[in-house]
Amino acid sequence: MREPVNRTILLLDIERFSRRDDVVQAVLRRTFNKIVDQTLQAAGVEATQQYCEDRGDGLIVLLSGDVAKTVLLRSLLTTTPELLHEHNLLASDSAQMRLRIVLAAGEVAHDPHAGTTGGLVGHDLNQACRLLDADVLRSALAERGDEHCVLAVSAPVYEGVVRHGHRGVRPELFRRADVTVKDGVLPAWIHQGAAADRAPGAATAPAAAPAAGSAPVPAAGSAPVPAAVAAPAPAPAPAGAPQAPAAGAVFHFHGAPVIHGSLVGGDQHGVSGGQVTGDVVLGGTRAEDDPTDGSRS
């Protein structure tokens, strides 16, 4: 057996693969391998830097130590969901594809035998496979609704990469989940997905301006602002007292002007929409000025 070498371990598995018929499984496998290849290409991984092992409904990918985990993480968080979205947008219901993904690191040995494939050996690889199969990760994907994948990282990847907040990798979007395995408890960190990917302190929409005459709304934690007190209505004038003209354009009539055949007698003070007092005769003349009126003395 060859000596173990430290590798980045990338595991991927198609959700509910065994529930599809053979034709759909073949289509999913072709699309799945294409998505993994494009994800690795986006991370700048060369063919000589990777070893892939087919697991039917998934893949084991081992990457050499000179592949930056930060770059790979960014690709898994952006490129992979985008490629899955493009596939699912056009695929039938039976060909929809969602993935569970685990990124881990550790010592792995390769012990191949003639005439067979595989031969990977290592405790760290075994733990990563248990994490991929854990109920907590399956449940996390099931709860994602219309999201297309879920990513979990092992403790070495979280401690060595994620928690430091490298560009494009936000540690606050990972939550710890302890997975019970045969030989104890395996710590892992699950990415919360697109629903939680919101910048803290996002600006809210500006508040609408208060309606005219309404009281201002106090800011949270501040003292309440008293509402404006309406000015008291003026007391009614005594009966018979002259009325003050209302605000607006004021017209003064002196004498007895005729307006469109109507006679206004006496001095009048009027406003648009206001009140006219005194003798107003519309469409005629005053009786004392009419020579045909027999009642005139």
What are the Cα distances from residue 95, in Å, to 14, 30, 31, 158? 11, 12, 10, 33
**36 CB-contact burial (10 Å; exposed 0-12 / middle 13-18 / buried 19+):** buried
Number of structural domains (the chain) is 2
CATH number of 42's domain: 3.30.70.1230
The Cα 290–Cα 297 span in angstroms is: 11
Statement to judge: residues 24 and 163 lie in one domain: yes
Max CA separation in the chain (angstroms): 144
Task: Say which residues have a Cβ less than 8 Å from residue 164's Cβ, sequence separation at least 6.
Answer: 171
Cβ-contact 136, 177 below 8 angstroms: yes
Statement to judge: residues 146 and 264 lie in one domain: no
- The residues pairing with 104 across neighbouring beta strands, listed in sequence order, are 9
> Where residue 215 falls among pLDDT bands split at 50, 70, 90?
very low
Note whether residue 217 is domain-resident. no
Statement to judge: residues 25 and 159 lie in one domain: yes
Note whether residue 230 is domain-resident. no
Statement to judge: residues 77 and 190 lie in one domain: yes
Note whether residue 114 is domain-resident. yes
Phi and psi torsions of 2, nearest 5°: -70, 160
The Cα 122–Cα 110 span in angstroms is: 9
Statement to judge: residues 28 and 158 lie in one domain: yes
pTM, entire model: 0.66
Q: Which of 132, 163, 196 is the last residue of a domain?
A: 196
The Cα 172–Cα 191 span in angstroms is: 9
pLDDT tens digits for range 66-80? 999 999 999 999 999
Domain span including residue 85? 5-196
Phi and psi torsions of 94, nearest 5°: -75, -15
Statement to judge: residues 256 and 191 lie in one domain: no
| Residue 44 pLDDT exceeds 60 | yes
Statement to judge: residues 255 and 141 lie in one domain: no
Note whether residue 232 is domain-resident. no
The per-residue pLDDT for 227 is: 47
Note whether residue 111 is domain-resident. yes
The Cα 80–Cα 275 span in angstroms is: 79
Statement to judge: residues 281 and 156 lie in one domain: no
Amino acid identity, position 26? A
Q: Which of 161, 196, 231 is the last residue of a domain?
A: 196
Q: Which of 152, 171, 196 is the last residue of a domain?
A: 196
Note whether residue 213 is domain-resident. no
Note whether residue 18 is domain-resident. yes
**207 CB-contact burial (10 Å; exposed 0-12 / middle 13-18 / buried 19+):** exposed
The per-residue pLDDT for 220 is: 45
The per-residue pLDDT for 194 is: 72
Statement to judge: residues 171 and 98 lie in one domain: yes
Statement to judge: residues 24 and 104 lie in one domain: yes
pLDDT tens digits for range 105-122? 999 999 888 888 888 999
- The residues pairing with 54 across neighbouring beta strands, listed in sequence order, are 59
Please indicate whether residue 122 or residue 214 has the higher confidence score (pLDDT). Answer: 122
Other beta carbons less than 10 A from residue 89's beta carbon: 8
| Strand-pair category, 149-154 with 99-110 | parallel
Return contacts of 124-130, CB within 8 angstroms, 24+ apart.
124/9, 124/154, 125/9, 125/60, 127/154, 127/181, 127/186, 128/9, 128/11, 128/102, 128/104, 128/154, 129/11, 130/179, 130/181, 130/182, 130/186
The Cα 180–Cα 183 span in angstroms is: 8
Statement to judge: residues 259 and 176 lie in one domain: no
Note whether residue 295 is domain-resident. no
The per-residue pLDDT for 166 is: 95
Statement to judge: residues 167 and 259 lie in one domain: no
Please indicate whether residue 66 or residue 238 has the higher confidence score (pLDDT). Answer: 66
